Amino acid sequence: MSIATILGVVFGFGLFVGSVVLSTDNVFVFLNLPSFIMVLGGTLAATFISFEPKFVVRALRVMAGILLTHEVGRAILTHEVGRVIRWGYIIQKGGLAGLETDSSRARKLDRFMSYGIDLVVTGYTGQEVRDILANTVETTFQRNTVYSDILRNMGSTAPAFGMIGTLVGLIIMLDNMGDDPASIGPGMAVALVTTLYGVLAARLVFLPAANKVQQREEIVRFRNYLLAEGLALLAERKSPRYIQDKMNSYLDPALHFSIDSMMRDRKEPAATPPSAAASD
């Protein structure tokens, strides 16, 4: 579970509820089922009209998924550098056949990596591998960010339906004003609750979720570009030391992989492949 995301949701709504409780004795005035239906139902209806249903359903699932820990963390980047370096040693000793054998497990778990290794084993040049994988990275990113676009659209739609609900409430209130002028105040309060729901849905649910989904996809894109560069270097038969320095140039210095440090830790000679650098 993503503790930070869960805490953000809890604190966000908790601060709102706490402020309401401290400000009024009539907290139930903030609970209105018709207003909730107007905002949520209207937002979903407009979204299903704007986008294909399967993408909307998928976007809602992705939104729920932000409560889970993201698979691609900072440590994974160092892990990828170490793994490619190890494959560099394997290619030096056994050629591309050794790479295909050693990477069999990793290929089952990662489609992008499997595709990239297939390109290397096929015999494409390093630049060809870069070009093909760069296109793969960008098209994958564009497909996956459709969900963040849908959530962002829902975030912009929810306040509009909140306002529509408020207008509906005002019309009903004004229509009944001649019969009971004393009901104007309570009626206005109920009407404004719909706008409140729309703003809360946008600012505490849909827009934050869209930003989180977008950020996670950007992290995956960066990781894939890093891996693509490493695979291209393998295709060019670059030395493990060169692979280390080139891939480290993409990373924060705190995440740099060091062949020398790994060798000292394992007390192995410098010519030995770093088998434990990034095990599959």
pLDDT, tens digit (0-9, with 9 covering 90-100), for 244-278: 999 999 999 999 999 888 777 666 544 445 444 44
Q: Within the chain, what is the greatest distance between any pair of CA atoms?
A: 93
pLDDT at residue 202 tops 70: yes
Q: How is residue 162 written in tokens? A: 């909140």
How much is the mean pLDDT over the chain? 89
pLDDT, tens digit (0-9, with 9 covering 90-100), for 20-70: 999 888 888 899 898 999 999 999 999 999 999 999 999 999 999 999 888
Q: Angle formed by the axes of helices 240-248 and 207-235, to 10°?
A: 160
pLDDT the model gives residue 277: 43
d(CA 216, CA 148): 10
Q: What percent of the chain has pLDDT over 70?
A: 91
In the chain, where the domains are located = 1-31, 32-280
Residue scoring higher pLDDT (272 or 242): 242
Confidence label for 182 from pLDDT (cuts 50, 70 and 90): low
pLDDT the model gives residue 280: 43
pLDDT at residue 114 tops 80: yes
Confidence label for 184 from pLDDT (cuts 50, 70 and 90): confident
Amino acid identity at 140: T
Confidence label for 82 from pLDDT (cuts 50, 70 and 90): very high
Q: Single out the residue of 201, 214, 92 nearest to residue 147, CA to CA.
A: 214
pLDDT the model gives residue 270: 47
pLDDT the model gives residue 266: 64
Judge residue 12's burial from the number of C-beta atoms within 10 Å of its C-beta, 0-12 exposed, 13-18 middle, 19 or more buried.
middle
Confidence label for 183 from pLDDT (cuts 50, 70 and 90): low
